[in-house]
């Protein structure tokens, strides 16, 4: 045998040997190692909490290993396109995420123990984004409730009670203004603060949000001045009342104040009320740790029965249908929904736990919303129930900065009709019947 051929044989034999050893090691690892699943988590403020929970789960058993991925929704969306989605998701529930539901890209979770404990009255809010026929594709994990934040010390010093009607609210504002106190501290420089607070609270406190958007979806391309439902028609009075509060009862420099400015100023006692969610508490607390704050729903009518708090599904759990680790993902899902875990998570974020037997939050700052959440007097923010291609934040910011509400609402109607022409928007009735159309995220 030639020297060249001898070397070739030895190289082949060596390669075969390495291959056999590698296969043996892989087989051994597969037989004794834990099944690894990828878990995407989108709440950056709570990464530390979730890292600890994942570590506790991993150490509690040796069959499943969870690897947490916090790279964000854009990466998740790309992974679906590539056919390599995460095995389980815990994400903010909005149009961007709900399109996976609409396209039936998620497994049915209705037979899980976790699903059996979810409040029934939250399902219509989930269905506002559409559904997949015959499936419970997503389970709410954390409900964030938001309403008026108020300075209890200022209210006490002025002898004020929490208003429950529109007239009572105006009387409170007039007394505060007469005392030289800005009734509301506003931050119009950041458009999202206008949408989340001013627009959502005034519209949600006046309009049946679910019925309105169902009717808008039914009208679709016909939404306009002659339609039986429209932004111009149904939101006209709420926006007029919003503008009354904006023009008469806010700080004079609101147009140049941003979210960070508002947290600092409100902590310094500049303003008696603040239209922000509980996420602002931790920011206010940095400079005013002892400030006594509370919450109440913004009254927009003269019937206290219309009071409600704005909620959003801050996190929802989902398992993609293309995951190759269905049982392992379900095991971790059930762990996430153990009462001690889901309740601890929501307590850490000042969220409301969506299960039927969960205790109410014990933080006094959100105590004023408990009654309304427990009674189902809740609505999803109108600002999050429109496709992103309708630039609502810009529109509502323009209104508080001086644009005509009538003209702005008419533009929103035209945008809605144009978007509906391109891609029909689902209704909760469609969801119930399974006739779900794909919406534009």
pLDDT tens across 84-122, in order?
889 999 998 887 777 888 889 999 999 999 999 999 999
Q: What is the DSSP letter of 319?
A: -
Spell out the domains of the chain, with CATH numbers in brackets: 36-144+314-367 (3.40.190.10), 145-311+379-433 (3.40.190.10)
Which tokens go with 307? 């009071």
State the pLDDT confidence band at 425, using cuts at 50, 70 and 90.
low
Whole-number Cα distances in Å, 73 to 22, 69, 401? 36, 11, 32
pLDDT 10s digits, 26-39? 333 334 488 999 99
Name the 3-class secondary structure at 437. coil
What is the predicted pLDDT for the residue at 426? 58
What is the predicted pLDDT for the residue at 430? 52
Bridge partner residues of 143 (DSSP) = 313, 352
Terminal-to-terminal C-alpha distance of the chain:
69
Angle between helices 47-60 and 326-336 (to 10 degrees): 120
pTM for the model: 0.84
pLDDT at 126 over 80: yes
Angle between helices 339-349 and 326-336 (to 10 degrees): 60
State the pLDDT confidence band at 290, using cuts at 50, 70 and 90.
very high
What is the predicted pLDDT for the residue at 33? 82
pLDDT 10s digits, 60-80? 999 999 999 988 776 777 777
State the pLDDT confidence band at 376, using cuts at 50, 70 and 90.
very high
Question: Strands (DSSP E) along 121-169, which ranges?
Answer: 139-151
Q: How far apart are CA 238 and CA 256, in angstroms?
A: 24
pLDDT 10s digits, 261-280? 999 999 999 999 999 999 99
């Amino acid at each position: 045998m030639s020297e060249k051929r001898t070397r070739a044989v030895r190289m082949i034999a060596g390669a075969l040997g390495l291959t056999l050893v590698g296969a043996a090691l892989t087989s051994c690892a597969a037989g004794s190692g834990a099944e690894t699943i990828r878990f995407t988590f989108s709440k950056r403020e709570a990464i530390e909490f979730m890292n600890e929970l994942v570590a506790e789960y991993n150490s509690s058993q040796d069959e499943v290993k969870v690897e947490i991925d916090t790279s964000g929704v854009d990466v998740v969306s790309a992974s679906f396109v590539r056919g390599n989605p995460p095995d389980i998701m815990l994400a903010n529930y909005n149009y961007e995420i709900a399109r996976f539901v609409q396209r039936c890209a998620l497994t049915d979770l209705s037979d899980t123990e976790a699903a059996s404990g979810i409040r029934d009255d939250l399902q219509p809010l989930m269905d506002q984004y559409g559904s997949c026929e015959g499936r419970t594709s997503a389970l709410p994990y954390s409900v964030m409730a938001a309403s008026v934040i108020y300075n209890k010390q200022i209210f006490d010093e002025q002898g004020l009670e929490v208003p429950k009607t529109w007239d009572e609210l105006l009387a409170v504002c007039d007394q505060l203004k007469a005392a030289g106190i800005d009734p509301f501290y506003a931050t119009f420089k950041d458009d999202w603060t206008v949408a989340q607070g001013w627009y959502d609270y005034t519209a949600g406190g006046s309009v049946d949000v679910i019925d309105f958007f169902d009717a808008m979806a039914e009208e679709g391309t016909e939404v306009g001045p002659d339609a039986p439902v429209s932004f111009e028609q149904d939101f006209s009075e709420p926006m007029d009342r919003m503008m009354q509060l904006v023009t008469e009862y806010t700080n004079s420099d609101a147009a140049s104040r941003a979210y960070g400015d508002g947290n600092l100023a409100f902590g310094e006692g500049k303003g008696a009320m603040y239209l922000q969610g509980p996420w602002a508490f931790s920011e206010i607390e940095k400079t005013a740790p002892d400030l006594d704050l509370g919450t109440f729903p913004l009254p927009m009518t003269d019937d206290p029965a219309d009071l409600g708090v704005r909620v959003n599904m801050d996190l929802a759990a989902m398992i993609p249908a293309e995951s190759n680790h269905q049982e392992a993902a379900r095991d971790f899902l059930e762990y996430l929904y153990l009462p001690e875990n889901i309740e601890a998570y929501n307590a850490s974020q000042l969220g409301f736990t969506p299960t039927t037997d969960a205790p109410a939050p014990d933080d006094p700052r959100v105590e004023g919303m408990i009654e309304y959440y427990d009674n189902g007097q809740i609505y999803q923010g109108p600002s999050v129930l429109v496709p992103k291609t309708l630039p609502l934040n810009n529109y509502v910011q323009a209104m508080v900065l001086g644009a005509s509400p009538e003209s702005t609402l008419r533009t929103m109607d035209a945008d809605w009709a144009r978007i509906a022409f391109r891609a029909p928007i689902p209704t909760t009735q469609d969801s119930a019947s399974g006739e779900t159309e794909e919406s534009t995220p």
